[in-house]
Amino acid sequence: MNDRIDSVEVLVSSPVRNYVTLRLRTADGLVGLGDATVNGRELAVASYLSDHVGPLLEGLDPGRIEDIWQYLYRGAYWRRGPITMAAIGAVDMALWDILGRRAGLPVYQLLGGRVRDHVPSYGHAFGWEIPQLLDAVDIHLARGARHIRVQSGVPGLDKVYGVSKDLDYEPAGRGARPPEERFDPEAYVRHAPKVLEAVREHAGPDVELLHDAHHRLTPTQAAQLGKALEPSRLFWLEDVTPAEDQEALRFVRQHTTTPLAIGEVFNTIWDCQYLIENRLIDYIRTAVVHAGGISHSRKIYALAEVHGVKAGPHGPSDVSPIAMAASIHMGASVHNWGVQEYMGYPEKVHDAFPHAWSYSDGVLQPGDAAGLGVELDEAVLSSEPYTTAYLPTARRLDGTVLDW
């Protein structure tokens, strides 16, 4: 049958950042692309795909998207986790891409069509000191942004996650070991409210402000921070406590009305179920690539819809433009959408993955190309060799390892 999957390729590439891309081809020449990037664990997911998943796909009907998802998830004894789910996510994205290309329709149309005119997004403003941060906020405002994530340095520390001194994207340090940083959660909790207050004062009441604490606080610190931030009226406070301890968020929620977001490290609907069903969060942050693709993400959003929770997907530059496309297509067609993170990409990444989706004036558009609307420029994609790169490991001032 000439519409069967007849080739499965896994491309590990490094146009400035490391990405893992899945390319499926059908016997009649259609191509589907999926993103399988797991930042800092790229080769593990590449092996999972090429050694364990690829051989199963050859000869299958690419139109059986849900069945292939179930086959790869339920049909294997070991399941869940970021590597497995990113691999399944990449396959799922590529199958929706093929379906769209076969139908001559953009994926958002296959998902039920538009429910909004554009997909709201937020970018990152950071500055080591408050004046630099305010300048960065002004750049976002001048671009037309309505949602901005703000992060700053902390007095007494010389590095803070998310506050790059010279780049406009979050870098991962190349090398065999992650670089190390020192972080002091207490100093951070004391300082962050002053930062958000200054930004609110500067930006006025209309702009939506977001802030990420990166799983580094105790429940009590998180509750104190949420309370202290109330006058700054955040859109969301993200990842206040380590994501495994979901009951901690009940305590935080009981003490603050600052909206809470979490879930960028979640991989399945079962990771999200407790928090959503108990209404302990306002936004669920799963990324399409790390949570099993479009098919599974739609189920997470549907569960969230029933419980008044909105989607606010993770979208750093370590999620490739293919996953970004898939997320934007969902953003155009999912009713309970809050906002898409859009950190942006170095120019070379846009060149490596030419895409129909676009960003301007603070919002994203899926474009009208068939499928996901992303192609590969292999010359750019392979212009830099893959080398391991890691986000820094953080330790407390006394040297104990902190959560990421």
Interface map 209-228 toward ligand CS2 (x if CB under 6 A): ---x-x--------------
Stretch that binds Mg ion, among 123-131, 206-214, 343-351, 371-379 (CB under 5 A): 206-214
Q: Please, which residue, 294 or 394, has the CB nearer to ligand CS2?
A: 394
Backbone phi, psi, residue 48, to 5°: -55, -40
Q: Could you say which of 122, 161, 301, 342 is catalytic?
A: 161
Mapping DSSP onto H, E and C, the string for the chain reads CCCCEEEEEEEEECCCCCEEEEEEEECCCCEEEEECCCCCCHHHHHHHHHHHHHHHHCCCCCCCHHHHHHHHHCCCCCCCCHHHHHHHHHHHHHHHHHHHHHHCCEHHHHCCCCCCCCEEEEEEEEECCHHHHHHHHHHHHHCCCCEEEEEECCCCCCCCCCCCCCCCCCCCEECCCCCEEECCHHHHHHHHHHHHHHHHHHHCCCCEEEEECCCCCCHHHHHHHHHHHHHHCCCEEECCCCCCCCCHHHHHHHHCCCCEEECCCCCCHHHHHHHHHCCCCCEECCCCCCCCHHHHHHHHHHHHHHCCCEECCCCCCCCCHHHHHHHHHHHHHCCCECCEECCCCCHHHHHHCCECCEEECCEEECCCCCECCECCCHHHHCCCCCCCEECCEEECCCCCECCC
Q: Quick check: is 147 catalytic?
A: no
Buried b (16+ CB within 10 A) or exposed e, 229-256: beebebbbbbbbbbbeebebbebbbeeb
> Which of Mg ion, ligand CS2, none has residue 170 at its interface (CB below 5 to 8 Å by kind)?
ligand CS2
CB of 369 to ligand CS2, least distance (A): 26
Q: Could you say which of 124, 191, 214, 215 is catalytic?
A: 214
Does 391 interact with ligand CS2 (rule: CB under 6 A)?
Answer: yes
To which residue do tokens 């490391």 refer?
Answer: 18
Does 212 interact with Mg ion (rule: CB under 5 A)?
Answer: yes
Q: Quick check: is 290 catalytic?
A: no
CB of 402 to ligand CS2, least distance (A): 13
CB of 247 to ligand CS2, least distance (A): 22
| CA distance readout (Å), 358 to 89, 133, 188, 351 | 22, 26, 35, 13
> Which of Mg ion, ligand CS2, none has residue 391 at its interface (CB below 5 to 8 Å by kind)?
ligand CS2
Q: Which of 13, 26, 39, 333 binds ligand CS2 (CB under 6 A)?
A: 39
Q: Which of residues 312-351 bind ligand CS2 (CB under 6 A)?
A: 314, 316, 318, 341
CB of 404 to ligand CS2, least distance (A): 7
CB of 267 to Mg ion, least distance (A): 15
Q: Please, which residue, 63 or 178, has the CB nearer to Mg ion?
A: 178
> Which of ligand CS2, Mg ion, none has residue 341 at its interface (CB below 5 to 8 Å by kind)?
ligand CS2
Q: Please, which residue, 92 or 212, has the CB nearer to Mg ion?
A: 212
Q: Please, which residue, 42 or 212, has the CB nearer to ligand CS2?
A: 212
Q: Please, which residue, 35 or 212, has the CB nearer to Mg ion?
A: 212
> Which of ligand CS2, Mg ion, none has residue 318 at its interface (CB below 5 to 8 Å by kind)?
ligand CS2
Does 26 interact with ligand CS2 (rule: CB under 6 A)?
Answer: no
CB of 364 to ligand CS2, least distance (A): 15
Q: Which of 42, 92, 97, 170 binds ligand CS2 (CB under 6 A)?
A: 170
Q: Please, which residue, 315 or 371, has the CB nearer to ligand CS2?
A: 315
273: tokens are: 């179920």
Q: Which residues bind Mg ion (CB under 5 A)?
A: 212
Q: Which residues bind ligand CS2 (CB under 6 A)?
A: 39, 170, 212, 214, 264, 314, 316, 318, 341, 391
Which residues are marked as active site?
Answer: 161, 214
